[in-house]
Each structure stands twice: as C-alpha cells, then as structure tokens.
Amino acid sequence: MNIKKVLVIGAGTMGGGISQLCAQQGFDTVITDISQELSDNARSRIEQGLDRRVGLGKIAEEVKNAVLSRIFTAGGLSSARDADIVIESIIEDLEIKKKVFSELDEIARPDVILATNTTSLSISAMADATNRPEKVVQMHFFNPPVIMKLVEIMPGQKTSMETMEKAADFARQLGKDPVVCKKEAPAGIVSRVLGQMLNEATWLVASGVAESADVDKAMKLGANHPMGPLQLIDMIGLDIHCAKMETLYRTLNDSRYNYPELLDKMIEDGHLGRKTGKGFYDYGDK
C-alpha cells in the first residue's frame, strides 16, 4: 500500500499512542475526535511526552520537532476524505462504532481500508454498517503502541485476504510484528488468554488468599512476567478491564471471565488504576 496519510479516530490513550507511532514512522497523521479540543489535547500530551524524552537525552530536539510536524488535529470525520488508511480507536461501544463506520464509508475513498482497534467487539457488525465489508479489519495495537511490538490482525466474516495482507504489511511498516487470526473470534488471542489470568489474580485478592503485592511478586519471580497482573490491570484501567470481561462473559457464556464484586466496588469508588491515582496500588498524584 502506498500510504502517506493516516487518520486515527479517537484522542484517548490508545488513539494518541497510535498517532504518535505513525508519525514517528514517517506518516502524516491526523488525530480526530468529537471535538477539536479533544484532538488538540491529545497532541499536547504527545508533545509533553516527547519533551520528557528530550530532557532525558533519549531523543534529539530535531527528532521531536520532526514527529510533531507530522501530527495534525481535527474535529469530526471530514479528514477521512484525504486519508489512505483509517484506524478507529474510540470507546468500546458497538453502536457508536457502527455509526462511525457508516459515516466513514460515506466520506473515505472506496479503496481505503477501515481498521478498528477494538479488543472484543464484533468486526463483522462494524463492517456490515458499511458498503465495503471486505475492507474492514481489526488492527489491535497494545498499550503503549509506541513500545509494544505486537499488532493482532483479525478479519470480519467478509474481510478479503487482500485487506488482511495489506493490514499486516502496514503493521510492519510501523515497525510491528503482526500475528494474524484465521477467523473472527471475540477478543482474539492475547486478550482471551490474558483476561483469564488477570481475573484469577483479582479473585485471589478478593477471596483473601494473598495481598496484591504478593500476587504480583509471585508472577514476576515465579513466571518471569515483567509486570504483575494487578499492576497491569491498574495500567489498563479497572473500568476497561471489566468492560472487556463483561463482553467476553456475555459473548462466550464462559464463567472464567466473571470477575469479583471487589472490582465493581473499586470502580464505584473511582479507583480505576493509574489514571485516577489509585487502583490495586496507590499512585498518589502521579
């Protein structure tokens, strides 16, 4: 694919990270959301992160400026007219995603691939909201996108082999090492396997078997994991983890994805992990 301009829809953590990744790899990238302000805020966060890297001597000032020169912002979907590929990374709500894909189908060129970064929602349902279901595909990035090497590529029921190959090729252009799922399945590979492990860690704490720190220490020292499962949930966000588990539990009717009431209580109290300063661990004002 001759890709020059990427449109990333969603100015949250993942959307911002994917945008930075694309810009770092030399692609002109537009971040868009429901308002210009949200997109501008995402670009500001990217700039702050790059400034920190400059201050630490990780990158040169010229590199930072070059990356920022390739990041543009917008409000709404009109930028899809000029995009060579679109990556959607908005809230995990199927009806909202279907609406976005339907609007994109009207705006983007007929040859443009529409990719979703969804973790667990139906790719086929999004594709059926368009007149190009063969060009709708999952490109699931992992947090943080600028660091994590994996991108999961998954088809919907009508996704063409050509689209799958192009999506995998673009992932490689971004410096990633993609894996390809042979057919559509809720949450793909990593989230299915990881979700059960994370859930089991929360049950150990909720049932009083062990403290959070000891569960994490056990998995780091005993299984050689770089991060404990509860530290990882804090990084992901308790609300996001639970939403993913609810979708898997409902879709697969599998009790292994059922999580303890402790998590609902923590979410109710506003303890969502790192982003709120407290989850299974207290992060203070970080």
Q: What pLDDT score was predicted for residue 285?
A: 66
Q: Read off the pLDDT of each residue in 204-229 and give the average, rounded to a whole number.
A: 97
Residues 76-105, mean pLDDT to the nearest whole number: 96
Domain ranges across the chain = 5-180, 190-276
In this structure, the chain runs to a length of 286
Comparing C-alpha atoms, which of 88, 96, 119, 109 is closest to residue 198?
Answer: 119
Are the CB atoms for 29 and 5 separated by under 8 Å? yes
Say how far apart CA 229 and CA 177 lie, in whole Å.
24
Q: Are 282 and 235 in contact (CB under 8 A)?
A: no
Q: What's the farthest any 2 CA atoms get from each other in the chain?
A: 56
What is the reported pLDDT for 256? 87
Tell me: pLDDT of 248 over 90: no
Mean pLDDT on 230-259: 90
What pTM does this model have? 0.86
Q: Which residues pair with 177 in a beta bridge?
A: 150
Summarised one tens digit per residue, pLDDT across range 11-21 is: 999 999 999 99
Query: Residue 153 — φ and ψ, nearest 5°?
Result: -105, 125
Tell me the average pLDDT across 143-165.
96
Cβ neighbours around 28 below 10 Å, total: 18
Spatial separation of the C-alpha atoms in residues 184 and 122, rounded to whole Å: 8
Encoded amino acid at 25, one letter: Q
Which pairs with CB-CB distance under 8 Å and at least 24 residues apart come from 127-132?
127/101, 127/156, 127/157, 127/158, 127/159, 128/158, 129/98, 129/99, 129/101, 129/102, 129/105, 130/101, 130/102, 130/104, 130/105, 131/105, 132/105
Residue 269 CB contacts under 8 Å (≥ 6 apart), including other chains: none
What's the pLDDT band for 143 if we cut at 50, 70, 90? confident
Q: Does domain 5-180 have CATH number 3.40.50.720?
A: yes
236: Cβ contacts below 8 Å, ≥ 6 apart: 143, 273
Tokens read off for 122: 């139906």
Residue 139 CB neighbours (<10 A): 25
Q: What top-level class would CATH report for the domain 190-276?
A: mainly alpha
End-to-end alpha carbon distance in the chain: 41
What interhelical angle do 190-206 and 261-268 show, nearest 10?
90
- As a whole number, mean pLDDT of residues 52-67 equals 96
